[in-house]
Amino acid sequence: MLSRSELRVEAPLSIKDGSCHIASLRDGREVWLGGKRVGDVTADRAFAGAAQSAAALYDFQAAPENAALMTFAAPESGRRVNRCWQLPTSYAELVERRRALEAWAATHYGFMGRSPDHVASCLAGMAMGIEVFRAYDAKRAAALLDYFRYARDHDLFLTYVIINPQADRSKAAHEQADEDLTLGVVDEDEAGITVRGAKMLATSGIFANEVFVACIQPLAPGDERYAVSFVTPMNTTGLKILSRKSYEAAAPSRFDNPLASRFDENDAILYFEDVKIPWERVFVDRDIALSQKQWHATPAHVFQNYQCQIRLMVKMRFLLGVARKIAEANGILAFPGVRETLGQLAAEAGLVEGLVYGMEAKGTVAHGHYVPDRHLLYSAQVLTQQLYGKVITSLRELAGGGMIMLPSGIEDFADPKLRQLINKTQKSPAVAPEERVKLFKLAWDAVGSEFASRHAQYEMFYAGATFVTRGHSFRTYDWPSATGMVDRLMASYDLDEELARLKKDTT
Ligand SMILES: Cc1cc2nc3c(=O)[nH]c(=O)nc-3n(C[C@H](O)[C@H](O)[C@H](O)COP(=O)(O)OP(=O)(O)OC[C@H]3O[C@@H](n4cnc5c(N)ncnc54)[C@H](O)[C@@H]3O)c2cc1C
């Protein structure tokens, strides 16, 4: 019998599956961890679990029972690819697309922030707003559209790095002590540009096929060579992927760390050592105005962050499940104070869900496509940045010492005497000792472990610092309608009129 990958050669229109994705990651990419170059990321104990989770996304979409929910026929090639590449033209199509993203997020319980639908959503938004690029440079616009089709038809997993590395944030990119710190163009010829420097942070980069490099931060005059957007494969010569510490490597047991062992999507600094980028893959070339407009004059920024809110909606559901199970396991569910805490959490989960549905319902047709409401999206960003930490604190409050009074690891269960002691000490009115340990270890991995702590940082920063998200909210709110109401009320009375009445009354 033919394997799936062999079948693919026979049937190029088949849906991308997990084995295809795993094979694509064995491409010689230059990943550095713990002072060593990693050979095969799909086999390394620091990355294999997350690589399998990425592959599981594609297996999920390729399963016959999920194909209609998860995929659509790409317009030109006809190949069925993930719906994240779909450019919705109506509310119904947007909702259809969201259902696919929601189902994907449920496979990782919302813990893979940069699953493939994130950057695909960004590029989809840029493709919708292609005329913004055309107004600047027809060749670069053609390159972007061509790449969008290529990435879509190959159902690529893309990551992105759109932030300049921290150094001195009070200075512009060209004013930093080392002018090659931030990625910029150092050369060009007929074939393309050469770039040098660093970008942060390639979340999921180790499990992605290609990286979209751009700059979302405002740039100053003099920063032109940093105002560049392009894509390149993760195995490009000269591209160094500097992994942060792997939480997965410290989580060899799934029972002990059910999340870190599987969903440590990793975040890496990328350093480009004189990397050549062909013109066909360059979308913005040293243009500060277009570098900003690509995000905000097209629907890109809305679509990429709408995906984040869909994922967070799923994660909130999961965290609420953990909260309730903790309450049941400790016999505290009937306490009025605990019900209040759970009621508050349920309201907060409802808020996130309601904002997703609201931004869809209040969406508008722009650039010929149906786009979620911009201001409701930014409202959701601002509020959820603050909410996440509160939710985590509520779970900690509910759990007390339960997430700490746990066996050190699965090895304790392997010793019959220790297992007896575990059975004696891990008591619950609702579940057996082993189940109690399993639940509280999961809870700790979700709210307290190093993996969980990185998640708290992620939810606070993935869309920018608070001053950035609040700025978007300020910019996009319908102030005329708000101040117009105040004006209408103030126009309905008048001091002179009242003074005249006062005079009349007193005479
Ligand atoms: C876990 C994680 C994953 C990430 N994944 C990705 C990714 O996949 N791709 C990607 O491109 N980026 C990613 N990022 C980067 C993320 O986009 C940035 O962290 C975010 O945009 C904030 O930028 P910064 O970290 O440089 O913080 P800074 O901009 O340096 O801000 C840090 C703090 O400094 C203060 N501050 C700085 N400047 C100002 C100012 N002008 N006014 C007022 N206060 C200021 C504020 O207190 C702010 O909170 C990730 C970040 C994290 C933490």
CB 41 within 8 A of CB 206: yes
DSSP 395-462: HHHHHGGGGTSS-SSHHHHHSHHHHHHHHHH---SSS-HHHHHHHHHHHHHHHTSHHHHHHHHHHHHT
Task: Tell me, in angstroms, the distance from the centre of ligand 1 to residue 177's CA.
Answer: 20
Banded model confidence at residue 5, pLDDT cuts 50, 70, 90 = very low
Q: What's the pLDDT tens digit per position in 272-300?
A: 999 999 999 999 999 999 999 999 999 99
304: Cβ below 6 Å to ligand 1?
A: no
Tens of pLDDT, residue by residue over 377-435, are: 999 999 999 999 999 999 999 999 999 999 999 999 999 999 999 999 999 999 999 99
Pocket test for ligand 1, best of 115, 159, 163 (most atoms within 8 A of CB): 163
Which residue pairs from 145-150 have beta carbons closer than 8 angstroms and sit at least 24 positions apart in sequence? Answer: 146/280, 147/123, 147/231, 147/280, 147/281, 147/283, 148/123, 148/124, 149/74, 149/76, 149/77
114 Cβ closer than 6 Å to some ligand 1 atom: yes
Q: How far is the CA of 395 from the centre of ligand 1 (A)?
A: 26
Q: Report how far residue 462's alpha carbon sits from residue 233's, in angstroms, rounded to the nearest whole number.
A: 23
Residue with CA closest to ligand 1 atom 33:
465
- Please, are residues 311 and 105 in contact by the beta-carbon 8 Å criterion? yes
Task: Tell me what percent of the residues of the chain surpass a pLDDT of 70.
Answer: 97
Determine if ligand 1 sits within 6 Å of the CB of residue 269. Answer: no
pLDDT above 90: residue 44: yes
Cβ of 481 below 6 Å from ligand 1: no
Q: What is the pLDDT of residue 85?
A: 98
**221 CB-near residues (< 8 Å, 6+ apart):** 288
Query: 487, 475, 29, 117: which is closest to 292 by C-alpha?
Result: 475
DSSP letter at 371? Answer: E
Percentage above 90 pLDDT, the chain:
96
Q: Which residues pair with 160 in a beta bridge?
A: 212
Distance 456 CA to ligand 1 centre (A): 13
- Which pLDDT belongs to residue 12? 52
- Of 201, 381, 455, the residue with max ligand 1 atoms within 8 A of its CB, to mutate for a pocket test, comes to 201
The Å distance, Cα 198 to ligand 1 centre, comes to 15
Is the pLDDT at 497 greater than 90? The verdict is yes
pLDDT (tens digit per residue) in 86-102: 999 999 999 999 999 99
CA angle 137, 141, 146 (to 5 degrees): 150
Which residue, by CA, sits nearest to atom 40 of ligand 1? Answer: 467
Q: How far is the CA of 202 from the centre of ligand 1 (A)?
A: 13
Q: Is 284 in the pocket of ligand 1 (CB under 6 A)?
A: no
Cα of 254 to ligand 1 centre, how many Å?
31
Ligand 1, atom 53, lies closest to the CA of 458
pLDDT band at 1 (very low <50, low <70, confident <90, very high): very low
- Which residue, judged by its Cα, is nearest atom 42 of ligand 1? 467
Strand order in the sheet with 228-233: 158-161, 210-213, 228-233, 282-285
| Residue 68 tokens, joined | 């209609």
- What average pLDDT does the segment 43-57 reach? 98
User: 111 by DSSP, 3-state: which?
Assistant: coil
Query: 470 near 382, Cβ under 8 Å?
Result: yes
Q: Compute, in angstroms, the gap from residue 374 CA to the centroid of ligand 1.
A: 21
For the stretch 151-206, pLDDT in tens is 999 999 999 999 999 999 999 999 999 989 999 999 999 999 999 999 999 999 99
Work out the number of other CB atoms within 10 angstroms of the CB of residue 4.
Answer: 17
Is residue 408 within 6 Å of ligand 1 at its C-beta?
Answer: no
Q: Residues 288-316: what's their mean pLDDT?
A: 98
**Ligand 1 centre distance from Cα of residue 461 (Å):** 6
Strands 210-213 and 158-161: parallel
Kindly state the tokens that stand for 88: 């919705």
H/E stretch holding 11? none
Q: How confident is the model at residue 462 (pLDDT cuts 50, 70, 90)?
A: very high
Of 287, 282, 277, 278, nearest in space to 142 by CA: 282
pLDDT tens digit sequence for 122-131: 999 999 999 9
Q: Is the CB of 457 under 6 A from ligand 1?
A: yes
Taking CA atoms only, the protein residue closest to ligand 1 atom 34 is 465
pLDDT at 8: 38
Ligand 1 atom closest to Cα of residue 163: 11
pLDDT (mean) for 48-74: 98
Ligand 1: does its nearest atom lie under 6 Å from the Cβ of 420?
A: no
Contacts of 46 by beta carbon, 8 Å cutoff, 6+ apart: 33, 34, 38, 243, 246, 248, 249
Instruction: State yes or no: cis peptide before 94, omega within 30 of 0.
Output: no
pLDDT band at 76 (very low <50, low <70, confident <90, very high): confident
> What separation in Å is there between the alpha carbon of 164 and the centre of ligand 1?
9
Cα 82 to Cα 73: distance, rounded to the nearest angstrom: 9
Mutate to test the pocket of ligand 1, among 114, 118, 157, 203 (most ligand atoms within 8 A of CB): 203
313 CA distance to ligand 1 middle (Å): 22
Nearest atom, ligand 1, residue 114 CA: 8
How far apart, in whole angstroms, are the C-alpha atoms of residue 297 and residue 131?
A: 10
Residue nearest to atom 52 of ligand 1 (CA): 458
Average pLDDT, the chain: 96
Instruction: Tell me, using a 6 A CB cutoff, whether residue 267 lines ligand 1.
Output: yes
Question: ∠173-178-183 over CA atoms, to 5°?
Answer: 55
